[in-house]
Structure 1
Amino acid sequence: MNKYLASGLCLLALHTSAQALTLPVSPVTAPEVDSPAIDLNTATTAGSRLNLTALQTPGSVESQTGVQIRERGDVSVQDAISRATGISRTGTPGDGGTSLQARGFTGQGSVMQLYDGNRMYNGMGTSTFPVDTWSVERVDVLRGPASVLYGEGATGAVVNTISKKPFTGDIENRIRLGYGSYDRQQQALDSGGSLTDTLSYRLNLNRLRSNGFIDRGDSASDFVSAALRWQPADNLSFTLAHDYGDQRPQNYFGTPLINGHLHKGLRDKNYNVSNDTQHYNDQWTRLTSEWQISDSVSASNELYYLKNQRRWQNAENYNFSGGQLTRSGFYGIKHNQEQVGDRQTFTFKHTLLGLDSQTVTGVEYNRIRFRLASNSPFDDVLPAGQPIDVNHPASAPFESADPFLPLFVTTTKQFSGFAENRLQLTDQLSLITGIRRDYVHLDRDQLRTGEQSDKTLTGNNWKAGLVFAVTPDTSIYGQYATSTDGISGLISLSPSQQQFDLATAKQTEIGIKQAFWDQRGEWTLAAYHIVKKKLLTDVPGSPGLKQQVGQQSSDGLEASLDLQLPNAWALQANAAIVRAQYDDFSQNVGGVAISRDGNRPVDVPRRTANVWLSKAVTEDIRAGAGVRYVDARYADMANQNELPSYTVVDASVSWKALRNTTVGLQLNNLFDRTYAVSQYNDGQQWILGEPRSFFVTADYTF
Structure 2
Amino acid sequence: MSSIRAARLRKFLLAPAALTSVAFVNMPAASAQQARDPLPPVEVTPAQSRKPAKPARSEGRPARRATAAARPAAVPAAQKPVVPTAPQTPLNTNVVAESASRLGLTVHETPATVEVISAETMREQGYRTVSEVAQGAVGVTSGDNPAEPSAFSMRGFTNSQINTLYNGIKIGPQNMTSRIMDTSNLEAVEFVKGPASLMSGEGAAGGAINLVTKQPHTGPIRNEADFSWDSLNSLRAHYGSGGSTNIQGLDYRIDISRSSLNGFADDTNTKTLDVSSQLNYRISDSLKIWGAIEYREDRGKAYWGAPLVPIAFSGAHATSGIVSGNYVSNYNGTNLGAITIDDRTFNTNYNVLDNRNVAQEVWLRGGFELKLAPDLTLKSQAYGYGAERDWFNNEVEAFNANSNLVDRERFYVAHSQRLVGNITDLTWDANIAGLDNRFVTTLAVSDLDFVRPGAANFPHDLVTLVDPARGYYGLLTMQQQTARIDNEALSFEDRLKLTRSFALVGGLRVEHIGLDRNSTDVNGLEKANFPFSKSWVPVTGRIGYTWDAVPGLTFFSQYATGADVSANNIFLLAPTQPLDLTTSRTYETGVKHLFWDNRAEWSFSAYDILRKNVYAAAGGMQLNIAGRQESKGVELAASVRPIESLRLWGNIAYVDARYADYNFVGGSFSGNTPPNVPRIVANAGASYRFFTPWPVELGIVGRHVGDRYNTDANVVTLNAYTVADVYAFVDIPKTVFNAVDQARLTFRVRNITDKRYAIWGDPFYPDQVLLGAPRTYEISAAFKW
| TM-score, scaled relative to structure 1 | 0.91
Counterpart contact for 2:205–2:584, Cα < 8 Å: yes
| 2:690 aligned with 1:690 | no
Distance 1:24 1:214, change over 3 A: same
Identity %: 27
- When residues 264 and 544 of structure 1 are mapped into structure 2, their CA distance, relative to the original with a 3 A threshold, is closer
**Does residue 500 in structure 1 map to residue 597 in structure 2?**
no
Amino acid at match of 1:630: V
One-letter amino acid of the structure 1 residue matched with residue 168 of structure 2: G
Aligned to 1:3: none
Question: 2:586 is aligned with what amino acid?
Answer: Q
Distance 1:472-1:304 versus aligned 2 partners, 3 A rule:
same
Aligned residues: 667
1:674 aligns to 2:764 (yes or no): no
| Per-residue deviation, 1:545 | 9.1
Q: Report the CA distance shift for 1:211/1:525 in structure 2 as closer, same or farther (over 3 A).
A: closer
The structure-2 alpha-carbon separation of the partners of 1:272 and 1:682, relative to structure 1 and needing over 3 Å to count, comes to closer
CA distance in 2, matches of 1:525, 1:365: 36
- Which of 414, 422, 442 is residue 362 of structure 1 equivalent to? 442
Are the structure 2 counterparts of residues 550 and 59 from structure 1 closer, same or farther at C-alpha, using a change threshold of 3 Å? same
Match for residue 56 of structure 1? Answer: 109
Aligned to 1:436: 509
C-alpha deviation, 1:53, in angstroms? 1.8
Specify the alignment match of 2:130 in structure 1.
77
CA gap of 1:188–1:430, structure 2 versus 1, over 3 A, is: same
Query: Are 2:288 and 1:234 equivalent residues in the alignment?
Result: no
Partner of residue 744, structure 2: 662
Of stretches 22-31 and 319-328 in structure 1, the one that deviates more from structure 2 is 22-31
Q: CA deviation at 1:225?
A: 1.0
Distance 1:695-1:119 versus aligned 2 partners, 3 A rule: same
What secondary structure does 1:47 align onto? coil
1:347 aligned residue (427, 433, 444): 427
What does residue range 352-501 of structure 1 map to in structure 2 within 5 Å?
352-376=432-456, 378-380=457-459, 382=460, 386-400=461-475, 403-405=477-479, 407-447=480-520, 448-450=524-526, 451-487=530-566, 488-497=568-577, 499-501=578-580
2:289 is matched by which residue type in structure 1? F
Task: Work out the CA distance in 2 between the residues paired with 1:23 and 1:93.
Answer: 38
Displacement after TM superposition at 1:459 (Å): 0.7
1:124 deviates by 6.0
What residue is the counterpart of 2:296 in the other structure?
Answer: 245
- Please say if residues 23 and 291 of structure 1, whose CA atoms lie closer than 8 Å, have aligned partners that are also in contact: no
- Indicate if the aligned counterparts of 2:408 and 2:463 stay in contact, CA closer than 8 A: no
Query: Offset of 1:482 from its aligned partner?
Result: 0.6
Please, what is the CA RMSD of the aligned residues?
A: 2.4
User: 1:17, 1:424 within 8 Å by CA — same for their partners in 2?
Assistant: no
Aligned: 1:195 with 2:215: no
Deviation at 1:491, TM superposition (A): 2.9
Letter in 2 for 1:374: G
For residues 16-415 of structure 1, what are the structure 2 equivalents within 5 Å?
18-25=38-45, 26-27=79-80, 39-95=92-148, 97-107=149-159, 109-122=160-173, 125-128=176-179, 131-196=181-246, 197-259=248-310, 260-322=339-401, 324-376=404-456, 378-380=457-459, 382=460, 386-400=461-475, 403-405=477-479, 407-415=480-488
Structure 1 position 626 matched with structure 2 position 676: no
| CA distance in 1 between partners of 2:608 and 2:592 (Å) | 19
CA distance in 1, matches of 2:253, 2:178: 25
Checking the alignment, whether the CA contact within 8 Å between 2:91 and 2:602 is kept in structure 1 is no
Counterpart contact for 1:94–1:126, Cα < 8 Å:
no
Task: Structure 1: give runs of 5+ residues left out of the alignment.
Answer: 1-15
Q: CA deviation at 1:538?
A: 10
1:608 aligns with 2:681: yes
- Other structure's SS at 2:128 match: coil
Which amino acid letter does the alignment assign opposite residue 233 of structure 1? S
- Cα 1:296–1:492, aligned 2, differ >3 Å: closer, same or farther? same
Distance 1:140 1:249 in 2: 26
Matches of 1:124 and 1:113, distance apart in 2 = 9
Report the equivalent of 1:575: 652
Partners of 1:215 and 1:544 in 2: how far apart? Answer: 32
Q: TM-score, normalised by structure 2?
A: 0.81
In structure 1, how many angstroms separate the alpha carbons of the residues matched to 2:605 and 2:471? 52
Distance 1:338-1:199 versus aligned 2 partners, 3 A rule: same
State the alpha-carbon separation in 1 of the partners of residues 108 and 731 from structure 2. Answer: 35
The letter for the 1-side match of 2:415 is: H
Taking a change above 3 Å as real, the CA distance of residues 623 and 243 of structure 1, as seen in their structure-2 partners, is: farther
Q: Deviations over 1:493-538 (max 9, x none)?
A: 22223x5211100111111111122221111111110110011279
Going from structure 1 to structure 2, the CA distance change for 1:474 and 1:59 (only over 3 Å counts) comes to same
In 2, Cα distance between equivalents of 1:325 and 1:633: 27
Q: Helix, strand or coil: the match of 1:563? A: strand
Q: Tell me, what secondary structure is at the counterpart of 1:249?
A: strand
Q: Which residue of 2 aligns with 1:5?
A: none
- Displacement of 1:223 in angstroms is 1.1
Contact 1:326–1:388, Cα closer than 8 Å, also in 2: yes
User: How many Å separate the matches in 1 of 2:676 and 2:209?
Assistant: 19
Equivalent residue of 2:232, what SS?
A: helix
Aligned residues of 2:452 and 2:482 also touching (Cα < 8 A): yes
Report the 3-state secondary structure (helix = DSSP H, G, I; strand = E; otherwise coil) of the residue aligned with 2:714: coil
Which region of structure 1 is more displaced relative to structure 2, 19-28 or 463-472? 19-28
Q: Deviations over 1:578-635 (max 9, x none)?
A: 0011011135xxxx34211111111110000011212222262222210111101011
Name whichever of 611-620 and 111-120 sits farther off: 611-620
Structure 1: distance between partners of 2:747 and 2:371:
45
Confirm or deny: 8 A CA contact 1:55 1:474 kept in the other structure. no
Q: Give the C-alpha shift of residue 126 in structure 1.
A: 2.8
Q: Is the contact made by 1:218 and 1:250 (CA closer than 8 Å) also made in structure 2?
A: yes
